[in-house]
Amino acid sequence: MYRYRESCRACGSKELVPVLNLGVQPLANEFVLPSEPHSGYAPLEVMFCPRCTLGQLSVVVDPAILYSEYRYVTSQSEMMFRHFEKITADIQRESGKDSSLVEIGSNDGTFLVYALHHGFGPVCGVDPAANLAQLALQYGINTVVRQFGTPAAALVAEFMPKVDVVLARHVFCHIDDWRGIICGLDVLSHKDTLVCIEVPDTEKMLANVEFDTIYHEHLSYLTVRSVIELLNGTNWHVHKVLRYSIHGGALMIMLRRNEWKERDSSVDAFEIGTLVTEEKWKAMALTAVVARYSLQKMVADLHAEGKTICGYGASAKSTVWVNACGFRKDDIAFITDTTPQKIGRFTPGTKIPIVDEAELLVRKPDYAVMFAWNYFQFIMQKNKAFLDGGGKFIVPVPTAKIVEHA
Ligand code: TMP
Ligand code: ZN
């Protein structure tokens, strides 16, 4: 089911240091039906590379298991579309309008549909999840169903020989073979091709103690420095870096081929240094223990008072919290979610059922743990009826806190 990785994915160093251990966990997005078996458990441990500052999991779970029936679908929230607007403007500032676009990890095609309507074209997706490619096709988006690398790039090149923009949103952290990605980019690029890699901002993740974003699909916790190391000796370099506030902080790392001589000054600061250090990782690991303890204690205390508690948002983060805290159905009675593909299934590693969000007002629990805390404002506004009826949210990060009013 998994294998250990011995060397750094970015720079090849074998001197990796263990910095955070979440024990053995089920696969965070494997929401199985009551009748289905699950794939099992794998260690969840982060190793830090002092040479290039990349954080990476000690194991790589077989992608065929992780991605064959992938249930994560790109959020269609207003917040996500505002983000699309922003990244589209930033990319077009570099590439111009009417650029052809390939998205690596295109999921159900949500971004590509948006891109087609906002000045990109033609577009094409690459994603290993056949079920999502099927969905994308219904929206009119073609997807090459493969992990991105030279073979996938060759398939794209059959109908889009050279591509103006290659976008990889939150996908670099999912892929083990980064050299393969670079080789694929070589196949698809012309001298002015822009490559845009959006990744979570590890510095912010550490500062905000977002340990719940660490699960088996997220193999890497990138820094710009680690990408600079990765690109050493290739045809590519880091051209520009932008920061976004979405989901606790993201970086857009833009690459250009080495023929492109101008480099944006935004890269300079990252080259000088990074705030992502071994000490920061270890400090976060300790704080995460306190955060888990604070939620466990709050749930136990509320139960002792006879209160009922559910979860809100069956995100992968919810799986990490639930399993790291050892919660069972007696602790969290159910978790609500809006995603049809998740409803009727169990939270991985438990018998906690996922139910339709409408159940919140039917079952009226006293408390709902907000596992989709990254949508805090939106969720508070959307659930006025629950709050007005006396319901309360528990926000688990950075330490458990009860929120009663929008
Ligand atoms: P994400 O943080 O990975 O996007 O996952 C969020 C999960 O929470 C996803 O399964 C959808 C769910 N969700 C709700 O159930 N209700 C909501 O209002 C929002 C914003 C998300
Ligand atoms: Zn390294």
The string of DSSP codes covering 148-200 is SSHHHHHHHHTT-SSEEEEEEES-GGG-S-HHHHHHHHHHHEEEEEEEEEEEE
Pocket test for ligand 1, best of 70, 171, 315 (most atoms within 8 A of CB): 315
Query: Looking at residues 314-337, what average pLDDT do you find?
Result: 96
Structure tokens at 37: 């078996």
Give, using CA atoms, the residue closest to atom 5 of ligand 1.
315
Q: How far is CA 374 from the centre of its chain?
A: 12
Contact partners, residue 270, CB within 8 Å, separation at least 6? 223, 224, 225, 228, 238, 241
Predicted pLDDT of residue 406: 61
pTM of the model: 0.92
The finding on whether 313 has its CB within 6 A of some atom of ligand 1 is yes
Pocket test for ligand 1, best of 31, 174, 337, 356 (most atoms within 8 A of CB): 337
The strand pair at 17-26 and 367-370 is best described as unpaired
DSSP for 370-384 reads: ETTGGGHHHHHHHTH
**pLDDT tens per residue across span 106-138:** 999 999 999 999 999 999 999 988 889 999 999
Beta bridge partners of 311: 335, 369
Query: Looking at residues 341-348, what average pLDDT do you find?
Result: 94
Using alpha carbons only, how large is the chain's radius of gyration in Å? 21
Predicted pLDDT of residue 91: 98
Burial class from Cβ neighbours inside 10 Å (0-12, 13-18, 19+) for residue 314 reads: buried
Q: Closest ligand 1 atom to the C-alpha of 337? A: 15
Kindly state the helix (H) or strand (E) to which residue 114 belongs, with its residue range. helix 110-117
Kindly state the helix (H) or strand (E) to which residue 86 belongs, with its residue range. helix 78-95
What does the alpha-carbon distance between residue 373 and residue 12 come to, in Å, rounded to a whole number? 35
Pocket test for ligand 1, best of 78, 375, 384, 386 (most atoms within 8 A of CB): 375
The finding on whether 375 has its CB within 6 A of some atom of ligand 1 is yes
Query: Looking at residues 230-238, what average pLDDT do you find?
Result: 97
Predicted pLDDT of residue 70: 67
**pLDDT tens per residue across span 295-320:** 999 999 999 999 999 999 999 999 99
Give, using CA atoms, the residue closest to atom 20 of ligand 1.
375
**Cα 256–Cα 262–Cα 265 angle in degrees, nearest 5:** 100
Give, using CA atoms, the residue closest to atom 13 of ligand 1.
313
Beta bridge partners of 251: 199, 243
The strand pair at 392-395 and 367-370 is best described as parallel
What does the alpha-carbon distance between residue 296 and residue 316 come to, in Å, rounded to a whole number? 18
Contact partners, residue 82, CB within 8 Å, separation at least 6? none
Half-sphere exposure (CA, 13 Å, Cβ side) for 314? 31
The finding on whether 217 has its CB within 6 A of some atom of ligand 1 is no
Ion ligand 2: protein residues whose beta carbon lies under 5 Å: 8, 10-11, 13, 49, 51-52, 54
Give, using CA atoms, the residue closest to atom 3 of ligand 1.
315
Q: How far is CA 332 from the centre of its chain?
A: 24
Asked if pLDDT for residue 245 goes beyond 80, the answer is yes
Asked if pLDDT for residue 74 goes beyond 90, the answer is no
Query: Looking at residues 235-256, what average pLDDT do you find?
Result: 94
Half-sphere exposure (CA, 13 Å, Cβ side) for 237? 12
Q: Which of 71-75, 167-171, 290-294 has the lowest mean pLDDT?
A: 71-75
Predicted pLDDT of residue 375: 87
Give, using CA atoms, the residue closest to atom 4 of ligand 1.
75
The finding on whether 382 has its CB within 6 A of some atom of ligand 1 is yes
Give the residue carrying structure tokens 């959020």.
Answer: 75
The finding on whether 357 has its CB within 6 A of some atom of ligand 1 is yes
What is the sign of the dihedral through the CA atoms of 272, 253, 29 and 333?
positive
The whole-chain average pLDDT of the chain stands at 94
Predicted pLDDT of residue 71: 65
Residue 390: CB atoms within 10 A of its CB come to: 9
The finding on whether 44 has its CB within 6 A of some atom of ligand 1 is no
Counting ligands in written order, which one lies closest to the CA of residue 312?
A: 1
Counting ligands in written order, which one lies closest to the CA of residue 12?
A: 2
Q: Which of 149-153, 294-298, 315-319, 338-342 has the lowest mean pLDDT?
A: 338-342
Q: Which of 58-67, 183-192, 348-357, 385-394 has the lowest mean pLDDT?
A: 58-67
